């Protein structure tokens, strides 16, 4: 886990020399946390990233929709940028300062620059990367259930379109990594990281990392 974190951070540092305009075909990597941290609008022009949810009950990309609300800098009184749906309770966020959450019998820290999400009462939360390139990509990432005092953990899957590449089920407080090499993509391809509740979405705050390289 520490090695994965160091790899992601090192790559983010090296990639920080690439401007936001490097989202397109000239980019060599796309780091979810780095790119989100720089965002000041819900869907920056040229960004391959989208932040979505699925309320249909059927996990198919045709059912994914963008979060209806975006707040930059401060969200729900906390120092975060977020995409959210108050009706379902689902959200995706990235803190611009670290802060401590206390509730449901425990406390934990949302760390500055760490991507976090929470599926809704009846919805999945979804990170979409729409490929701007043709060729092969490598994907490295992590999923970590932050809130271990209650709930039943989360499910996750990494999909290319509607094809599941990897998936898993995390126990409460569990963590896992994923890695894929030489995934063929074109500018019509989309990669989705889907975070889902199990029996319910209680205490399903989840942190994720994802790095895509070519």
Instruction: State the pLDDT at residue 21.
Output: 46
- Do the bridges between strand 206-213 and strand 29-31 make them parallel or antiparallel, or are there none, so unpaired? antiparallel
Instruction: State the pLDDT at residue 7.
Output: 47
pLDDT in tens, the chain (214 residues): 554 554 444 444 444 434 444 555 667 899 999 999 999 999 999 999 999 999 999 999 999 999 999 999 999 999 999 999 999 999 999 999 999 988 777 888 899 999 999 999 999 999 999 999 999 999 999 999 998 888 889 999 999 999 999 999 999 999 999 999 999 999 999 999 999 999 888 889 999 999 999 9
Number of helical (H) and strand (E) elements in the chain, helices listed first: 2, 16
Opening angle at CA 35, ends 78 and 145, nearest 5:
55
Instruction: State the pLDDT at residue 23.
Output: 54
Instruction: State the pLDDT at residue 18.
Output: 41
Quick check: pTM over 0.75?
Answer: yes
Instruction: State the pLDDT at residue 149.
Output: 80
Rounded CA separation 5/142 (Å): 9
Rounded CA separation 212/35 (Å): 12
Domains and CATH numbers, the chain: 2-213 (2.60.120)
Instruction: State the pLDDT at residue 19.
Output: 40
Q: For residue 194, which of 143, 124, 100 has the smallest C-alpha distance?
A: 124
Cβ(112)–Cβ(95) under 8 Å?
Answer: yes
- Tell me the torsion sign for CA atoms 116, 60, 65, 201: negative
Cα–Cα distances in Å, from 143 out to 5, 12, 112, 167, 195? Answer: 12, 18, 17, 11, 9
């Amino acid at each position: 886990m520490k090695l994965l974190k160091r790899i992601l951070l090192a790559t983010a540092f090296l990639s920080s020399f690439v401007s936001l305009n490097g989202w397109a075909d000239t980019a060599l990597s796309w780091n979810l946390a780095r790119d989100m941290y720089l965002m000041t609008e819900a869907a920056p022009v040229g960004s391959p990233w989208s932040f979505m949810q699925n309320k249909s009950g059927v996990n198919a990309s045709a059912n994914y929709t963008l979060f209806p609300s975006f707040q930059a800098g401060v969200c729900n009184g906390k120092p975060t940028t977020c995409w959210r749906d108050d009706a379902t309770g689902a959200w995706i966020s990235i803190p611009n300062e670290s802060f401590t959450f206390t509730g449901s019998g425990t406390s934990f820290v949302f760390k500055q620059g760490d991507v976090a999400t929470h599926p809704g009462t009846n919805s999945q939360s979804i990170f979409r990367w729409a490929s701007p390139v043709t060729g092969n990509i490598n994907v490295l990432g992590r999923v970590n259930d932050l809130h271990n005092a209650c709930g039943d953990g989360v499910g996750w899957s990494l999909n290319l379109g509607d094809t599941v590449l990897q998936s898993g089920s995390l126990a409460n407080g569990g963590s896992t990594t994923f890695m894929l090499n030489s995934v063929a993509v074109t500018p019509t391809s989309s990669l989705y990281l889907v975070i889902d509740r199990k029996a319910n979405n209680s205490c399903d705050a989840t942190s994720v990392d994802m790095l895509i390289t070519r």
